[in-house]
A and B are shown apart, each in its own frame.
Chain A
Amino acid sequence: MLVFIVRRVLLLIPVMVGLTLLVFAITRLLPGDPARLAAGPNASPEQIQQIAREFGLDRSLPAQYWAYATGLLRGDWGMSIYSRRPVLQDLEAYLPATLELVLAAMGLAVALGIPLGLLAAAQRNRWPDMLTSVVSLGAISMPRFFLGLLFQLCFAMALGWLPLGGRFPLGEDLPARVSGLLTIDALLAGDLHAFGVALQYLTLPAVAMSLSPLATIVRMMRASTIEVLHQDYVTTERALGLSRRLILLKYVLKNAVSATLTVIGLYFGWLLGGTVLVETVFDWPGIGLYATSAVLTQDFMPIVGVTLCIGTLFVVGNLLIDIAIAQLNPRARLR
């Protein structure tokens, strides 16, 4: 297992190199003057020239990439025109909020999606299954920003149950920063009040964000459970007298989850992409909101930074999923 993990982590290196190449290509190869983009829309020609010199745009492309990549390693992710701060510093400030949101949404989706999908498959073609199928397809089709807006309209504005947006009330004391995830930090500090407040703020965005991956997981889990139920070994298990419950909850579940995880890996990007939209709706101070405000001010470098950051998250997330699959499936460890 350890060997498997180490090998997988080493395999990340070429992927990360590729990722930086891709992002580099977006900044340099597409039409549109990178210096002008980096300098912002209101820059004077002198400023653009100065940025071009700073970026070494007069040098060859490989040399430029080398400068770019080593810059990334040194922590030079460019400068925001808008805030005049280094992009990396901003990302560090905003990333924990995004992580908290993504983890909460993913946790919710997995915790609800797997039992629901299993249930739907076990009840196949009866009304709970039909209902689940339609509702989940509807949930996948629901734009997350519209869903967020509806949540705000209903739970925040009309009913007043939960806060409209943001992450924590301005006047109150934040728990001591350990992980940057407010709910976790509040628990670590033993501050239940702060935990409750943070949870209130987290609920609507996390639910809005989790609905479409939740529905996807339900559908995948249903499909793979049905697939597994058709396998020969299930017939053998039944033929030798094992109970339906034991077969479903032990033997089928593990197989179906292992198959579903593979698919979840592919949809993880869809979840990460959604963070931009949900953060925008709920003014959740994460990297997505950072990127959106950068788009509106045509602040190019933060967008590139967020792209790289989310690409990295995607790669790391998939690594974790691979490890989970290997944990479940002894054959996967050999690959």
Chain B
Amino acid sequence: MSASLPRRRSGLRRGFYRFRQSVLSMAGLAVVMVLLLVAVCGPWIAPYPQDLSGAVHTAIRFQPPGPAHWFGTNELGQDVFSLVLAGTRISLLSGIAVVAIGSAVGVLIGAVAGFFGGLIDDGLMRLVDLVLTIPSLILAMAVAAALGPGIVNMIAAIALSWWPGYARLVRAEVMAKKNEAFVVASTAAGAGVVRLLWRHILPNVLSPVIVKMSLDVGFAVLTVASLGFIGIGVRPPAAEWGTLLAVARGNIPDYWWTAIFPGLAIFLAVFAFNLLGDGLRDLLDPKARR
């Protein structure tokens, strides 16, 4: 045991080294940091905060990008830059919330299924298979349509289709770890089930879960924007990237800036999270390291 410790640490150090070496992962991390910062203080740094609460300036409709309005103005004369900045908060917050809820539910269900096995496992895994048969966007659409519009309903709808992946992952890891020596030893020593799961098994399945979460945030942001684009979820005037894009569809090609910038914002956020997730996977998941 003692001999394997330094090696493990040096493996981690090697991972960090590789992560730093990887320009792309670092770029992804930097963009994610900036986006998070914007998400926190977006409404305060927006140059035209009154536009965010639905102010209309008919005199300056469809101004092209320029010094006064970096991203131009939209059909209501609102500053597109301010809207995109404000949209960061909604998109990122919803994306992170979806992954947080989805992973929490999934980890719990997966741990229970993997640990108890038998009928409980069979039942839960059939449910997982079933939910996975409906593509998440479609399932979220149906659930959101049943729940009605609103940001909370949208998050719930997406999270409902998001947990099965985690359940599968954690179940497999728990099943694998369950029979390892140290877990068997603590069972023999009389550790309670909850304690065993919490203290011994969960910490061991954490790193694949974190990798999956970091890879998933990008897709969750994408799904949120997709639902916004279809017209479910956030309603104007609340600025959400997908919704902005949906409205702007009617303005192209003459007023292309109303569409390009929200679209680029979605792309940038998803790409940054994916780069970061890829880097983290290389760092934390030795199996994927090649």
| Chains A, B in direct contact (C-beta < 8 Å) | yes
> Chain A interface (Cβ within 8 Å of chain B)?
15, 18-19, 21-23, 26-27, 30-32, 37, 134, 137-138, 140-143, 145-146, 149-150, 152-153, 157-158, 223, 226-227, 269-270, 272-274, 276-277, 280-281, 291-292, 294-296, 298, 300, 303-304, 306-307, 310-311, 314-315
Residues of A within 8 A of B139 (CB): 26, 307
Interchain nearest-CB distance for B248 vs A (Å): 8
8 contacts between A and B (CB under 8 A): A18-B129, A19-B130, A137-B275, A145-B229, A149-B245, A150-B263, A280-B229, A295-B232
Within 8 A of A (CB), among B193-252: 218, 222, 225-226, 229-232, 242, 245, 249, 252
A26 to B145, CA, bound (A): 10
Q: How far is the CA of A270 from the CA of B134 in the complex (A)?
A: 10
- How far apart are the CA atoms of A32 and B138 in the complex, in Å? 18
Give the interface size class of chain B: 35 or more
| B275 adjacent to A269 (CB under 8 Å) | no
How far, in whole Å, are A285 and B22 apart by their CA atoms in the complex? 44
Contact residues of A: prevailing secondary structure:
helix
Query: Which residue of A26, A138, A140, A292 is within 8 Å of B146 (Cβ)?
Result: A26
Asked whether, in the complex, the Cβ of A18 is within 8 Å of the Cβ of B130, the reply is yes
Which A residues are in CB contact (< 8 Å) with B135?
269-270, 272-273, 310, 314
Distance in angstroms between the alpha carbons of A23 and B275 in the assembled complex: 35
**B interface with A by C-beta (< 8 Å):** 24, 126, 129-139, 141-143, 145-148, 218, 222, 225-226, 229-232, 242, 245, 249, 252-253, 256, 259, 263, 266-267, 270-271, 274-275, 278, 290
Select one of A21, A146, A273 contacting B137, CB under 8 A. Answer: A273
Q: Which residues of B lie under 8 Å from residue A37 when comparing CB positions?
A: 145-146
| The one of A31, A158, A296 that contacts B147, using a Cβ cutoff of 8 Å | A31
A99: min CB distance to chain B, Å = 15
- Please give, as numbers and ranges, the residues of chain B lying within 8 Å of A134 by CB-CB distance: 24
Which of A31, A227, A292 is close to B230, meaning CB atoms less than 8 Å apart? A292
Q: How far is the CB of B216 from chain A (nearest CB, A)?
A: 13
Once the chains are docked, how many angstroms separate the CA of A37 from the CA of B147? 10
Q: Please pick, from A143, A298, A304, the residue contacting B225 in the complex, using a CB distance under 8 A.
A: A143
Contact between chains at A23 and B274 (CB < 8 Å): no
How far apart sit A153 and B251, CA to CA, in the bound complex (Å)? 11
Closest to B269 in A: A141
Q: How far is the CB of B232 from chain A (nearest CB, A)?
A: 6
Q: How far is the CB of B39 from chain A (nearest CB, A)?
A: 18
CB < 8 Å: which of B143, B229, B274 contacts A141? Answer: B274
Give the residue of B131, B230, B267 whose beta carbon is less than 8 angstroms from that of A146: B267
- Taking A157-B253, A273-B137 as given, write out 17 further A-B residue pairs in contact, using a Cβ cutoff of 8 Å, ordered by the A residue number: A18-B130, A23-B142, A27-B146, A30-B146, A137-B278, A141-B271, A143-B222, A149-B245, A149-B263, A153-B252, A158-B253, A269-B136, A295-B141, A295-B232, A296-B231, A310-B134, A311-B133
